[in-house]
């Protein structure tokens, strides 16, 4: 039985591709991927990462989009409906609850971290990086996170930007936003790439990213690449499933997911090509870790010709990427309130947004007032990050893969994917139902410190 979402649907396949790519492209691509590549041997890490995108990321994304479109509801209702239709244990709806809750939690701290980028946009416009030393850059960052009032202001502004888009609906809000933000993000990346090619060590960057050095690759590096491939596509956070519920019925799910994954990966690689020439040109190390964006690059900006405008464009790019991701994290909760309680989207957006903003205050205070307060040695922010990244998302991804391949009937799967009983269908089912869950389990166990 074909179902239809009460929230309308994307006007075209392109709209879904832009929205899903926007969900996938975020802090993980522009912040995390470059420094992880820097810490794990460059080219060797990139090759493993690309292999994992195709063996883990794309198969699970296909499964998640398929479940969303099959049920045409928010993730919680979708899993409950599909479990009932297939005569499966109603406990499978916990997948939907886990994803929706994970998206809400991630939004709460994502908004705080994204607020930092707004502050750095302000700094770049006010010559805040001019002749900056590394010690001054570190001090600048430390002063920012130690000021709770400043962080709350930026957190509030970014949360408001996100909720304003979600409240307008699918075509008037989400679709219009991504049709502007995603092309804008790509244009900014290309402009920054031209700058990096002109003023940075581009040849050294090409060798670093695309000439594998297997001596720097360890078992931990492989697991890190697997984890990055899984998390970069926003899998199991409810976002991809709810976006899939708005996908037109005549759109090929496998082809569309491949395009989304390729777009996401291309932007991650472009980010590396933008960042590393600047790092190398200033004699800095690519393995600077999480501080690469907020502490190392401002020093490089301050020492380069036209660095102020390069910094401004870079952090605007950062804002665009974070914005499109945060929108997708809020959507599952908003759609649940609208479907289950009959709330309007503006009212649901305000409720979810205020709740996320409130929880986000814990992340704000983790860097200052509550810095000494820890749970099992972790701050409030670190607990939320650990809970979502190490438990909820990987376990949710495994459950999605298993349900789609072994609990959903073969006929239902074939009909939704429009794949006959062919080599392609059997290969997808084997990879998604066996290889991907096993790989994600390894990542989960590694992140938990089992090995």
Architecture per CATH, 13-447: Up-down Bundle (1.20)
CA distance linking residue 148 with residue 275, whole number of Å = 29
378: β partners: 375
Tokens of 201: 């060590």
Give how far the C-alpha of residue 161 lies from the chain's centroid of Cα atoms, to the nearest Å: 17
Mean pLDDT of the chain: 87
Q: For residue range 390-433, list pLDDT tens digits in order.
A: 788 888 999 999 999 999 988 889 888 887 767 888 889 999 99
Rounded Cα–Cα distance for residues 322 and 309 (Å): 20
H-type alpha helices, 168-201: 176-199
For 306-356, what is each residue's pLDDT tens digit?
888 888 888 898 888 889 889 999 999 999 999 999 899 899 999 999 999
Considering only CA atoms, give the Rg of the chain. Answer: 21
What pLDDT score was predicted for residue 1? 52
| Nearest-angstrom CA–CA distance, 47 and 210 | 8
Tell whether the model's pLDDT for residue 290 goes beyond 70. no
pLDDT attached to residue 32: 76
153-170: average pLDDT: 92
- Structure confidence at residue 289 as a pLDDT band (50, 70, 90): low
Distance CA 117, CA 318 (A): 7
Q: Does the pLDDT of residue 238 top 80, yes or no? A: yes
Residue 221 is encoded by which pair of tokens? 């590096």
Most confident listed range (221-230, 260-269, 386-395): 260-269
Question: Domain extents for the chain?
Answer: 13-447
**Could you tell me which residues come within 8 angstroms of residue 59 by beta carbon, excluding any fewer than 6 positions away?**
401, 428, 431, 432, 435, 436
DSSP symbols for 87-124: T--GGGGHHHHHHHHHHHHHHHHHHHHHHHHHHHHHHH
Quick one: pLDDT band at residue 212, thresholds 50, 70, 90? confident
At 48, list the tokens.
């493993």
Q: Tell me the pLDDT tens digit for each residue of 34-92.
A: 777 877 878 888 898 898 898 889 999 999 999 999 999 999 999 999 999 999 999 99
Rounded CA gap, 61 and 76, in Å? 17
Region 115-122: mean pLDDT is: 93
């Amino acid at each position: 039985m074909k179902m239809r979402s009460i929230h309308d649907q994307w006007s075209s396949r392109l709209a879904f591709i832009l929205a899903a790519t926007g969900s996938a492209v975020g802090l993980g691509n522009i912040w995390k991927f470059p420094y992880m590549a820097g810490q794990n041997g460059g080219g060797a890490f990139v090759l493993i990462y690309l292999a994992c995108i195709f063996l883990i990321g794309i198969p699970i994304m296909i499964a998640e989009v398929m479940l969303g479109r099959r049920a045409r509801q928010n993730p919680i209702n979708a899993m409950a409906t599909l479990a009932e239709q297939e005569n499966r244990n109603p406990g499978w709806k916990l997948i939907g609850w886990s994803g929706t809750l994970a998206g809400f939690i991630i939004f709460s701290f994502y908004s705080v971290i994204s607020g930092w980028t707004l502050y750095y946009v302000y700094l770049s416009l006010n010559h805040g990086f001019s002749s900056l030393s590394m010690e001054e850059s570190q001090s600048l960052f430390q002063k920012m996170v130690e000021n709770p009032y400043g962080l709350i202001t930026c957190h509030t502004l970014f949360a408001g930007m996100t909720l304003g888009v979600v409240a307008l609906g699918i075509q008037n809000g989400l679709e219009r936003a991504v049709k502007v933000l995603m092309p804008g993000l790509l244009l900014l990346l290309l402009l920054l790439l031209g700058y990096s090619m002109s003023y940075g060590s581009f040849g050294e960057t090409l060798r670093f990213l695309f000439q594998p050095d297997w001596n720097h690759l360890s078992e931990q590096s492989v697991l890190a690449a697997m984890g990055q491939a899984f998390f970069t596509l926003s899998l199991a956070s409810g976002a991809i499933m709810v976006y899939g519920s708005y996908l037109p019925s005549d759109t090929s799910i496998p082809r569309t997911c491949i395009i989304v994954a390729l777009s996401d990966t291309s932007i991650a690689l472009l980010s590396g090509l933008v960042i590393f020439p600047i790092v190398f040109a200033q004699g800095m190390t690519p393995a600077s870790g999480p501080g690469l964006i907020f502490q190392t690059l401002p020093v490089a900006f301050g020492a380069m010709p036209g660095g102020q405008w390069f910094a401004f464009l870079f952090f605007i790019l950062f804002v665009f990427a974070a914005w499109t991701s945060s929108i997708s994290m809020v959507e599952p909760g908003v759609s649940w309130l609208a479907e289950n309680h009959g709330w309007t989207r503006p009212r649901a957006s305000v409720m979810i947004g205020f709740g996320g903003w409130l929880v986000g205050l814990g992340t704000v205070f983790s860097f200052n007032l509550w810095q000494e307060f820890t749970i099992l040695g972790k701050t409030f922010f670190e607990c939320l990050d650990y809970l979502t990244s190490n438990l909820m998302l990987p376990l949710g991804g495994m459950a999605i893969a298993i349900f789609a391949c072994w609990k959903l009937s073969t006929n239902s799967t074939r009909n939704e994917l429009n794949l006959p009983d062919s080599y392609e269908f059997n290969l997808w089912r084997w990879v998604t139902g066996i290889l991907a869950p096993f790989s994600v389990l390894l990542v989960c166990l590694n992140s938990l410190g089992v090995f």
